[in-house]
Structure 1
Amino acid sequence: MKWLRSCWPEIVFNLAVLAPLAALIWDFSRGQLTANPIQAVQLATGRYALGLLVVTLAISPLVKFFNLGRLLPLRRPAGLYAFGYASLHLVNFVGVDYGFNFAAIFADVGEKRYILAGLGAYLLLLPLAITSTRGWMVRLGRNWERLHWLVYPVVLLAMTHFFWQTKADLRGPLAWSAVVVLLLAVRLAGLVRGFKRRG
């Protein structure tokens, strides 16, 4: 059982991330996803994608300030799961909601600017998912870390997407924004300290 003791964070994390998807599929198959199942899937997958992006940002500060080194191996799968949920979010919107009618989507962009913010976030997230393997890390060298700084504009675009598509109750977007701003402030403070040491 030694392997279980060493792998339990990964096991718990994977179960926690996949459980909402399993529940979503189960409810969808039984017709229990509210009166508008397409919207329910859209909102749920968007929330999970954003939440997992925030988790990827939070892991490094948690490791640094609270000595939670066991969380570090979860950063890559968190990012990949975020990409997975974002892909489901996109497919549900383009394929299920709009039936791959791109003319209708383009026609709606003017009134629904959140589409552009969401698409921008996804397009920036795509190369991060593709280059997440160890092989790409070796190929890109130092450029790999520079490329993966894109996670910050991805999160900012995702938050913009969230704000713009929220019609009334802004408490959710504001709460997420507070967390994101805190994490960005922590990261920025670390960068400033690093520059001062070099100077």
Structure 2
Amino acid sequence: MPRALSALLSSLCLVACGSTNDDPPTPGGEACERYTFPLSDTSTASHVNSCGSTACGNGENPPNSGMHCSTWLSCRSFDTEQPRCSWIHNLEHGHAVFLYNCPEGCADDVAKLEAAMAKAAVGSNGVRRALVAPDSQLPKRFAALLWRRTYLMDSVDPDALTCLLALQDVDANEPGLVCPP
């Protein structure tokens, strides 16, 4: 096969199949075609007076956008439940949020969420722009969120999480903002 044709076919596969290195595949890549991460309706992104406000979120469970408190969370793994109003602010900044509801424990699955967190975009301060936390209100055992996108799971699917991360910052109101460690 001529070198030019071989190079063309290789580059076409990279575009269609997603990257062959550790970068997340492109949202339209073949590896991600089996997943859908629909956008929720647009909602206000203003601040509420208190992180305990019942006005937080967009009415979905879990909320993936909407009104939120003025503080956000550090990008790390938490072992205690965090205020939804705070991590909604993280979402607005283009951070990924990975949640779990396992009262009986699920250390192996939390480790998979933390592995996905380690693939999130890195801020200019060197911190991965994602967090992991428990959430007792989830309708399923696991959730992965970006601003206006939610992926609910009964078991953690690392491939789906990688594909979702390919959309990090795409729809966020304030994309690319750093996250404190």
Q: TM-score range by the shorter chain?
A: under 0.3
Greater strand percent: which structure? 2
Greater RCO (CA < 8 Å, at least 6 residues apart): 2
Q: Tell me which structure has the larger Cα radius of gyration.
A: 1
TM-score (norm 1): 0.25
TM-score (norm 2): 0.27
